Chain A
């Protein structure tokens, strides 16, 4: 149980285009989903927190107009990188929290590697 999928697993796009990444919780309902970004040899940096049916909460320094997050259902959240540029190339990882139990455990998706040419 507690499987999270992401699609696509990798994407290459031209500078200036927009890219959408999907994150799905396959066997549980996720009350909260998180989006992280990881640059090579660095740790995960939280970009935003999204709750189903409400606006995402962005971390300081993350442009909400550039990284659009939609959490339309309890099993799906999407991240759209708008007008992508080479500096947006990174490993984007989502995680989902079920809201059950006391550990606040997050289950991670397999990640999406974005390369902007």
Chain B
């Protein structure tokens, strides 16, 4: 079983819609959870992190964490063409390492 799994893409949404990305993890002891955005040919950039159960909002992005279900999600509201990228879910395991999911590619149609 993979440590971090993301819903398979690609995910195509119209401009202005909500994009919903899901991620599950296997290590129940995980403490911190991250969403990174990666444009083609570029390195990942951090969008949000969350470590408490519930929702965390930052602008058009909302991260949701449910530790009991070992589930973390990212909502992108009012999606823009510039949001088209691959979104990586990462989970802090031990020794400060991050375990990454395979990523979900999002395409926002203008």
Residues of A that sit less than 8 Å from B by CB = 32, 34, 42-44, 46, 49, 57, 93, 95, 97, 102-111, 113
Interface residues in B41-55 (C-beta closer than 8 Å to A): 41-46, 49, 51
Digit string of B27-69 for contact with A (CB within 8 Å is 1, else 0)? 0000110101000011111100101000000000000000000
Q: Judging by beta carbons under 8 Å apart, are A93 and B43 in contact? A: yes
Q: Judging by beta carbons under 8 Å apart, are A44 and B88 in contact? A: yes
Please list the 6 inter-chain residue pairs (A to B) with the smallest Cβ-Cβ separation, ordered nearest first.
A111-B43, A108-B43, A43-B102, A43-B100, A104-B92, A44-B100
Tell which of B34, B42, B45, B97 touches A34, judged by Cβ atoms closer than 8 Å: B97
Q: Judging by beta carbons under 8 Å apart, are A106 and B98 in contact? A: yes
- Chain A residues closer than 8 Å to B36, beta-carbon distance: 108
Q: Judging by beta carbons under 8 Å apart, are A105 and B97 in contact? A: no
Q: Judging by beta carbons under 8 Å apart, are A104 and B43 in contact? A: no
